Structures are given as C-alpha cells and as structure tokens.
Amino acid sequence: MVFFMAGPTYRQALGLKILNSSHPRIRKLKREGHDAAIHGNKFWNSSFLIMQHLKKHPPKNGVKVLEIGCGWGLLGIFCAKQFGARVTGIDADAAVGPYLHLHAEINEATMQFQKKTFAQLSAKDLAEFDLILGADICFWDELAMDVYRLIKRAKKLGRATCIVADPCRPPFNAMAERMLEENESAQLLRRRLSRPVRASGDLLIVP
C-alpha cells in the first residue's frame, strides 16, 4: 500500500490528494479573496490520527458523518471515499468552503459544507449524524469548552459517537479530563504515527 506520495504542488496520503499552497488552483482561490482567518489555511495532521483509527475500526457503510471545524475537509472526504459516508462539514470561517469543495472535486468525493460555529449546531442538526469528528479544534480555551458542550448535547440525543483528536494542547487536555470524569464510557487513547506524516496526540472517544 502506498502511504505517501508527493509532487511539487501536492501530496497524496491514505488515498487522498492534498494540494499544497503553491498549487495553481489554491493560488487562484487566494487571489479571488478566499483568505481563511481562523487557522483554516492548511491541513492539520491530527486528522491522520482519526483516519488511522477509523481504518482499524471502520464505521458501517453509508454512515452519516459531521466534521466539526472542518477546514479543508480532508477528514470528511476520507470518510466519504473509504466508507461511502454522507458527510457534512461545518466551520465558522466561510472562506474555507471553496478549499473544501476543491478537494472534494479532485478526490472525486461528495461533502457538504455549512458556515456554522459549534454553538450554532442545534439538537435537530446533531440528531442527523452517527459520527461526529474533529481534529485540531481545541487550540483556544473557549473552543475547547464549545466542543465539550457540543459533545454533551450530542450524547443527550443518544446516537452519535464523537471522536476528537489533538496534539495534547492544554485546552484539549482539560476538556478531555472533564469528559472522562463525567462519562464512564469515554476513552482517551494516545496515538503516534510515523507515516503518512509524523503526528502524535490523543483521541478522545465518546461512544
């Protein structure tokens, strides 16, 4: 199996083609004014921690997936390609939408995008999904608390499994510790990858 390939303007890993900032189509989007403002200007490696976990523990085919703080949407696109998932990505920054749609196009996948904050997801929204995923989304204290509240609301509905990956930033660690204290079914798993990228961190899994 080919884990990683690279060219001058892209890389390819786990079946996904990921465009670099120097790729002509990425540069074109930037010239058109699509400037991501909330750390949505690149692909974050913690997503690979979730991808590898899902490869070992695959969800059912056709699962409904919500990627929160989706940025360019590579994690959701991976789920669409690997598991035939029906995927929606939400992000507070509308500027990431064109980058998500571009990557869905070049990877021959379908993923919906909505401009929403975590707090704007209603109970009705959350009830639609079987799996809620987020990677590198707890880089501020207030964001970590929003993720905590989102998971609590989702679990009240009794349906979705939530998986959040992070390279162990303090806001994530505090949020995860609180979730583990309050939910006996929650797990915190340490993961480390050497390929397709070097990445390490924890997965908070709330089934």
The pLDDT value recorded for residue 4 is: 43
Given a contact cutoff of 8 angstroms between Cβ atoms, the answer to whether 175 and 138 are in contact is: yes
**pLDDT at residue number 37:** 65
Closest CA relative to residue 20, chosen from 72, 70, 69: 72
Q: pLDDT below 70 — which residues of the chain?
A: 1-7, 37-42
Would you say 175 and 144 are in contact if contact means Cβ atoms under 8 Å apart? yes
pTM for the full predicted model: 0.92
Q: Residue 194: its pLDDT value, please?
A: 84
The residue written with tokens 């690149």 in the block is 42
Closest CA to 163 of 192, 130, 134: 134
Residue carrying the six token digits 């929650």: 186
pLDDT at 9: 87
According to CATH, what is the number of the domain 4-206?
3.40.50.150
Q: What angle do CA 129, 94, 5 make, to 5 degrees?
A: 75
The pLDDT score that the predictor gives to residue 40 is 45
